[in-house]
Amino acid sequence: MSRKSGGFAKKNGVGKLTKIDKIFTAGYNKDMKRNYENEMLAQIQGLEKGTKLLLHSCCAPCSSACLERLKEWFSVTVLYYNPNVDERAEYEKRKAEQIRFLRETGWADFLDCDHDAEKFFAAVQGLEQEPERGKRCYVCYGLRLEKTAEIAKANGFSWFATTLTLSPYKNAEWLNEIGEKLAGRYGLNYLYTDFKKKGGYHRSIELSDEYGLYRQNFCGCRFSKRNG
């Protein structure tokens, strides 16, 4: 790998929250909401079918509806990088479900990563009491997306994306803004998405039922269990 991971999170970590604080006080993109679903459709126009894309996936249920769409345009490899799921048993359970889902559908290849829970704790230190969708989540998004960009760059993927925009509990504007910045930094194409649109979230529930997927009732980190 040409660069070390975690740079985004470190730049936005404890003691250097200026950028994050600014986002919260200014109301990020409040007056200029972009339609990322339409932006995605524009991006894929004219793309050669089978273009390689590295898709960060948080879990099998969220990946299901994303992959059902993406496989029509891309040759997808799923990257399972979720250091935020800090409890080992939960992490392994989600990963096993991801692998089983891909094995049963054949919709994507799979790329594993180290667990890296210590990196997550270091990145969100001081933000433990933040609510879901708060500053801790901004850092968490950045940590996972930067690793995805880094691995995409090192392994010849020209495109990367994340399943995280499928969830109505995630901030799609932040995710896409972060992806856009990382694309510039790493010289990659980031696929803008808002996978919850067009019934995406509902479709993920249908597919989860169809494949009997484990659907967790909390986001991932131990702090999110308060809201689970």
Q: Which residue ranges make up the site for ligand SF4 (CB under 6 A)?
A: 84, 132, 136-137, 140, 219-221, 223-224
Q: What three-state secondary structure class fits 113? A: coil
Q: How far is the CB of 64 from ligand SF4 (least distance, A)?
A: 19
Q: Smallest distance from the beta carbon of 44 to ligand SF4, in angstroms?
A: 27
Closest CB to ligand SF4 among residues 137, 178: 137
**67 or 85: CB nearest ligand SF4:** 85
Is the CB of 71 or the CB of 222 nearer to ligand SF4? 222
Is the CB of residue 77 less than 8 Å from the CB of residue 157? Answer: yes
- List the structure tokens of 9: 């999170």
Q: Closer to ligand SF4 at the Cβ: 100 or 222? A: 222
3-state helix/strand/coil string of 121-183: HHHCCCCCCCCCCCHHHHHHHHHHHHHHHHHHHHCCCCEEEEHHHHCCCCCHHHHHHHHHHHH
Q: HSE-up of 53 (CA within 13 Å, CB side)?
A: 30
State the nearest-atom distance from the C-beta of 177 to ligand SF4, in Å: 15
- Write down the least CB distance from residue 72 to ligand SF4, Å: 28
